[in-house]
Chains A and B, each alone.
Chain A
Amino acid sequence: GDSVTQMEGPVTLSEEAFLTINCTYTATGYPSLFWYVQYPGEGLQLLLKATKADDKGSNKGFEATYRKETTSFHLEKGSVQVSDSAVYFCALSVDGGSNYKLTFGKGTLLTVNP
């Protein structure tokens, strides 16, 4: 079946530090890949996406590149801010089979200190 594995948290960084959150996947078909972010007390919202190999998704200074050869979609940001403190979820979806669902990782809690 489909699955997403992301690095365990929590991750604690100082403001302006570099962020990497690792995400790897297994999929029965050719997946689209997503990063969702959940700010405290809110629902999830789409941060960025990529739909084919070597695509780079980007938004709000975050980037992730779809690496088919390593089945990875790592999230990066060059300089984090306190306002980036949130839980980050990697997810995938595929056509065919279970195409109604998003498969989520367990989430990574990021805390950025001033």
Chain B
Amino acid sequence: NAGVTQTPKFRILKIGQSMTLQCTQDMNHNYMYWYRQDPGMGLKLIYYSVGAGITDKGEVPNGYNVSRSTTEDFPLRLELAAPSQTSVYFCASSADRGRRNIQYFGAGTRLSVL
């Protein structure tokens, strides 16, 4: 029962570096999401996807990019990392949307930008 798998679990970046956070799910879910969680601030949606080849911006997309070439994978790319991107990142997936939107989360990637 893998569910949603995120790698890496921890990463330290220098300002200006780039990296890709990996996310894969084995539940054949159409909908996938990237969130960031800052202390005391809840979760903010970065990007989401409603299926392979279709992505759209969430609340806080600046500084990030995504792609969805397969149903299973939804990587998040950070270009030119900044200290403001220090956060915990969660990937999630769901089988449905609207009132039936039950999301399943990965264990998270803790990122520090120094």
Q: Which residues of A contact B (CB under 8 A)?
A: 30-32, 34, 41-46, 49, 51, 89, 93-96, 99-102, 104-107
Q: B67-111 vs A: 1/0 string, CB under 8 Å?
A: 000000000000000000000001010000111111111111000
Assuming A43-B4, A43-B105, is B97 touching A100 (CB within 8 A)?
A: yes
In the complex, the answer to whether B107 meets A32 with C-beta atoms within 8 Å is no
Q: Which residues of B contact A (CB under 8 A)?
A: 4, 31, 33, 40-43, 45, 48, 50, 56, 58, 90, 92, 97-108
Which residues of B are found within 8 Å of A89, using beta-carbon distances?
A: 42-43
In the complex, the answer to whether A93 meets B48 with C-beta atoms within 8 Å is no
Main DSSP-derived SS at the A contact region:
loop
Nearest A residue to B31, CB-CB: A100
In the complex, the answer to whether A101 meets B99 with C-beta atoms within 8 Å is no
Assuming A43-B4, A43-B105, is B99 touching A100 (CB within 8 A)?
A: no
In the complex, the answer to whether A93 meets B107 with C-beta atoms within 8 Å is no
In the complex, the answer to whether A93 meets B105 with C-beta atoms within 8 Å is no
Bound state CA distance, A101 and B48, in angstroms?
A: 9
Bound state CA distance, A89 and B44, in angstroms?
A: 13
A-B contact pairs, 17 of them (CB 8 A): A43-B92, A44-B103, A45-B104, A46-B102, A49-B102, A93-B101, A94-B99, A96-B98, A99-B97, A99-B101, A100-B31, A100-B97, A100-B101, A101-B45, A101-B101, A104-B42, A106-B40
Which residues of B are found within 8 Å of A30, using beta-carbon distances?
A: 99
In the complex, the answer to whether B98 meets A94 with C-beta atoms within 8 Å is yes
In the complex, the answer to whether A107 meets B102 with C-beta atoms within 8 Å is no
Give me 6 other A-B pairs in contact (C-beta within 8 A), A43-B4, A45-B104, A105-B42 excluded: A30-B99, A89-B43, A95-B98, A95-B99, A100-B101, A102-B103
In the complex, the answer to whether A31 meets B97 with C-beta atoms within 8 Å is no
Which residues of A are found within 8 Å of B33, using beta-carbon distances?
A: 101
Tell me, rounded to whole Å, the shortest Cβ–Cβ distance linking A85 to chain B. 17
